[in-house]
Chain A
Amino acid sequence: MSRLPAAFVLWLACGLAALIAGLGPTALAQTAPSPDGTASASIPVASASAAPPPLHGVAPLYGDVEVPLGWMPPGTQASPVPSDEIFPPQTISIRFNHQLHMVRMKMRCASCHPGAKTSERSADRLLPAATKCDNCHGTDHRDLLAVKPGKGDTGACGFCHLGQDAGTGGRVAKLVLPAPNLRFSHKAHYLRNISCGHCHGNVEKLELATRQQLPRMAGCFTCHPKSSRGKAKGDCITCHVTRPGGTMKTSFSTGQLLPPMWLHGAAHTPDFLARHKVVAGANSAMCGSCHQDRFCTDCHDGRVRPRDVHPGDYISMHAIEAQQASSSCTSCHQLQSFCADCHRRVGVGRDSPSARRLAGRRFHPPPSEFTTAPRGPRHHAWEAQRNLNACVSCHVERDCVTCHATKGIRGGAGVNPHPVGFTSRCDAAFSRNPRPCLVCHAPTDPVLTPCQ
């Protein structure tokens, strides 16, 4: 056993040595392009301890410093990072200095991206062909299976292509630029004299253009309000790809497309289940952009307990939740049928069938506290005032009118359940629907006169 740690350390040391031996020399031998990206200097790195200066053209700004917000696409402040679902992650295997080409060399966007003027699909590849570089760099990309480097360092494969041994054997690292999951016409925007920078930010001030320079939805809304007409109306499906029925496609290989928080607070955060009512109540059409009717019905008119709403053993604890949050129950459940039907079946309801009643069992506190008198702290009147829904989930009208109907023909005990001030507004109620009044009061009852 004592030799095991020693063997382990030995294996570890050998492994590290092999790693250094395998990686070190090759990495140190690689030609490093000049820092400004323009000179033809080949700077051999003297030793591993002296860190090489950062390369130009491998980050938006030299040294990968943060890009000022003003140079970013509009909407970046609200959405600092482009959506992975709309713009899937890219692998940019070349270095490029837009600032150098556009400012110092006076090139324009269309010099390298002429296809943008005519592109009508977001999937169109708008990067310049490699032959575009040949004029200045002296390379020959006409046959991609036999690319010829140019003279000098600016013509070397490794000058633009990143990665170890770039260009060796004619191989370079693959540029991965997935098509956006979006409907977009560069042509339509170009024809309206909308400049590239309007959506992509100040690319001419940057070196490498990355995903960070892709548009943000908040920026689109600055020009595309919902009130706009024609084909560029600010609806979701103007830009987002859809399912056959017109609802947005939300599931992509890179993730689930979800609304941002700023969009009417609709972000599907962990607490969204509790607060989605507010969003849907104000703008259900927005919900309908992604969700079909059946998505809502599965919960709101569902017959299978949604576990995110009702946790395990919910049947055992539903009574206490009905006591604590009855307004939520009525979002999905009809008290007098859904709730009370089951309560009748199990014998909890006062009007349960005789064979179902649980002999000697009582849901409420003893009648002396809860029902009769005196009207102590545990009397049902308080609970009814606070949470009448809970009463209605078990009891039927007859249970209540037994006491609360007027004496005489209606068969009650005359206990008045109305709030103070009720007579001042009972006429509006009576004129709309006198039926509940007549359940407890005989039509000739003089107390009805003010309401009639």
Chain B
Amino acid sequence: MGRGGARAIGGAAALAVSALCFPAAAVDFEVAGDVTAQGYDIVSPWGGVILGRRRVLSTLALSAYHLQGDYVPGEGDYSAQLRLRLDVDFGLTNAEENFSDDNLPFFVPGLNQTPVDLMYGYVEGRNLAGGWLDVRAGRQYITDVLGWWSFDGARVGVTTPFYFRAELYGGLEQRGGLPVSTSRFASQGVWRGSHGDFEDRATLFPSYQFASPAPAIGVALESDGPNWIHGRFTYRRVWNTGSAFLGQFPSPIDGSYETFDDLRVSSERIGYAGSAFLTELGSVKGGVSYDLVNDQINRAYGTMEFFPIPDKVTTGVDVDFYVPTFDGDSIWNWFTRNPVVTATARVSALPYEGLETSLQVGTRLWMADGDPADWARAQCAASSTDQVQLDRCLRDGVDPSVGGERNFARDEANRSTHAAPDLLLDAATRYRWGTGRVGLTGHLQSGFGSDASNRGRRVGGVLSARQSLAGEVVWLGGRVSVYDWDDPLRPNRHATSFGYVLAPEWRPWRFATLRMEWEHNTNRLVGQRYRALGYVAFEVVP
């Protein structure tokens, strides 16, 4: 679908919801919108301007509540919500966006193919059937331990008097390349989108897959009982349909590209997250998500908090376990990869009214199979008779003494997990008063040791402030940031950055905001960088 079609759908949807807003006098509605214009240049680390971005983003949100007429507490209530987005980059060139043989040296498939998208749009009924039933139909979000996800379809929730509610939903996952949709909610690891006017030349980009509807179903059971404890069990399955290229190179026999067309699983996950608290003691939270395609836990986390001084001081410990997983179509699911484990301890305090501070210290462990510093060296040295064999062994990872039959990448001796730790330190403090606030944040993440395990360092902080003048009609905001980073893998990319932002804001009416931002950053890699941003927003809530 071209831009014209997308705009037509967007306009029709806006009209439909607008129409819904006004038939009954008792209907409450909200209208909110914003326009953001930005101009900035992307400068390569070698100093040249490589992209000029001139972006205009506009969103329009419409909400209509109590569509049934008068709202009566405890009885069924209907509403409709919609948000449309227009995102255009005038810095894009025709050659980048539109396929032709002449444009091929510049053409990027799938770039900016959805300037208009429907972020969400649904009709909802709550508290139906005596409070037993909730229904929602349209483009909507699901937020739980499986992530933040969007689909077009219907969701039915049944709230029982037995301390739990059940939820069943089904529809089509929001996929990039489909009308008024973005790729934001699809599983990672597949480059996918509309092929538009180059479908017959699709083999030029065999890694770029076709966008097809992706059926999805899900179910959730959620506690609905005491306030002090809550849990949600959830399961979701999404299928891929349509064609996908298999081999990434033309067949040596006939030069063709094979495709795979069967229905197949895109993602299938099961998860649980829960939390409990005691108001005077602390709280505990945890979650786990199991990827059935990969047959492994892809994410787990837990956190415990204590309130040594209620309402004043909170201490806590957090653990996060993460393994990258990808769409079922992606080859990267089957690459060797290891968990990233993060453990932190934190404290936050409210020393006195308005002043808040927090400090977090911890470590992040990056795992690899075997120690990069001496991987296979002992085996190669033992099995090689001369330097030539040793070099070959190290190069190929195979034992030359047995003709390459023994692959050290498969050797259990090289499977002992090696962890490269990063030190994490985050500190933040802010002070808020009636007409303004000031905040200071600091961040440090740093690896240790040799090149083999040291994954770099980033340290810096931001000082920000905001103050209203003239009775909250005019606001002045500003930021100053200083960051320094270093990457042993790319030592020439080390830099220290200094930047500031000036952001005056004007609220001529309660429902309108106008803001300008001027950002200036400087570092040795790119020299001077500037960014100008203008923002206009309104929100009407009668």
Contact = CB atoms under 8 A, between A and B. Distances in A.
B265 to A, nearest CB: 4
B119 A225 contact: no
A63 interface: no
A437 B55 CA distance: 40
Interface stretch (A126-134, A172-180, A263-271): A263-271
A435 B329 contact: yes
B249 to A, nearest CB: 4
A262 B279 contact: yes
Interface residues of B, number: 194
B255 to A, nearest CB: 12
B246 A382 contact: no
B83 interface: yes
A378 B489 contact: yes
Interface string A297-324: 1001101100100011101110111011
A293 B120 contact: yes
Contacts of B207: 351, 396-398
B387 interface: no
Contact of B283 (A264, A351, A365): A264
A422 interface: yes
Which of B266, B336, B397 has the most chain A CB atoms inside 10 A of its CB? B336
A244 B497 contact: no
Contacts of A5: none
B10 interface: no
A340 interface: yes
A303 B193 CA distance: 19
Contacts of B183: 334, 336-338
B2 interface: no
Contacts of A379: 372
Contacts of A43: none
Contact of A337 (B193, B369, B533): B193
A79 B497 contact: no
B127 to A, nearest CB: 10
B248 A411 contact: yes
A39 interface: no
Contact of B280 (A78, A227, A344, A372): A78
A435 B264 contact: yes
B436 interface: no
B438 to A, nearest CB: 12
Contact of B74 (A230, A296, A297, A410): A230
Given A77-B279, A293-B141, A428-B295, A262 B487 contact: no
Interface in B409-463: 409-410, 412, 415, 420, 422, 426, 428-430, 434, 439, 441, 445, 450-452, 455-456, 458, 460, 462
A290 B391 CA distance: 63
Given A396-B207, A417-B334, A417-B336, A433 B445 contact: no
Interface stretch (A30-38, A101-109, A387-395): A387-395
Contacts of A277: 301
A3 interface: no
A226 interface: yes
A301 B183 CA distance: 10
B141 A296 contact: yes
A364 interface: yes
B332 A388 contact: yes
A383 B460 CA distance: 24
Given A284-B144, A325-B445, A396-B207, A377 B372 contact: yes
Contact of B292 (A229, A284, A375, A432): A432
A119 B336 CA distance: 67
B249 A227 contact: no
Nearest to B445: A324
B499 interface: yes
Interface string B469-498: 000000000010101011101100101010
Between B176, B191, B391, the greatest number of chain A beta carbons within 10 A of the residue's beta carbon is seen for B191
A413 B409 CA distance: 15
B439 to A, nearest CB: 7
A341 B143 contact: no
Contact of A321 (B264, B310, B366, B458): B458
Contact of B335 (A218, A317, A320, A388): A388
Interface string B208-233: 10000000000000101111101110
Contact of B485 (A279, A320, A353): A320
A65 interface: no
Interface stretch (A48-56, A143-151, A204-212, A354-362): A354-362
A192 interface: no
Interface in A321-335: 321, 323-327, 330-335
Contact of A271 (B426, B452, B493): B426
A10 interface: no
Contacts of B346: 271
Interface string B294-315: 1100000101010100110010
Interface string A40-70: 0000000000000000000000000000000
B331 A440 contact: yes
B74 A260 contact: no
Interface string B52-74: 00010101010101100000011
Give the interface size class of chain A.
Answer: 35 or more
A387 B366 contact: yes
Given A296-B143, A296-B148, A372-B395, A420 B36 contact: no
Interface string B490-523: 1001010101110000000000000000010111
B23 interface: no
Contacts of A275: 303, 318
A75 interface: yes
A41 B296 CA distance: 82
B501 A271 contact: no
A370 to B, nearest CB: 8
Contact of B279 (A218, A356, A385): A218
B235 interface: no
Given A321-B458, A418-B335, A270 B357 contact: yes
A398 B206 contact: yes
A270 B429 contact: yes
B197 interface: no
A282 B271 CA distance: 10
Given A312-B500, A433-B328, A384 B397 contact: no
A397 B191 CA distance: 9
Contacts of A75: 279
A401 B452 CA distance: 25
Contacts of A420: 369, 410, 412, 415
Interface string B326-356: 1011111111111010000010100000001
Interface in B52-109: 55, 57, 59, 61, 63, 65-66, 73-74, 77, 79, 81, 83, 85, 87, 96, 104-108
Interface in A232-253: 234, 243-246
A439 interface: yes
B501 A307 contact: yes
A313 B481 contact: yes
Given A271-B428, A280-B143, A373-B396, 6 more contacts: A226-B224, A262-B280, A281-B144, A282-B287, A316-B529, A389-B188
23 contacts: A226-B227, A229-B131, A260-B311, A265-B303, A269-B356, A270-B348, A278-B303, A282-B285, A283-B275, A293-B119, A294-B119, A303-B87, A307-B479, A313-B523, A317-B483, A317-B485, A344-B108, A345-B96, A386-B337, A386-B367, A426-B334, A433-B265, A433-B293
Interface of A: 75, 77-81, 218, 221, 224-227, 229-231, 234, 243-246, 255, 260-265, 267, 269-271, 274-275, 277-287, 292-294, 296-297, 300-301, 303-304, 307, 311-313, 315-317, 319-321, 323-327, 330-338, 340-342, 344-347, 351, 353-356, 358, 361, 363-365, 370, 372-379, 381-389, 391-392, 396-398, 400-402, 404-405, 409-411, 416-420, 422, 425-426, 428-429, 432-440
List 6 A-B pairs, minimum CB-CB distance, nearest first: A373-B395, A374-B394, A312-B499, A377-B452, A244-B28, A270-B428
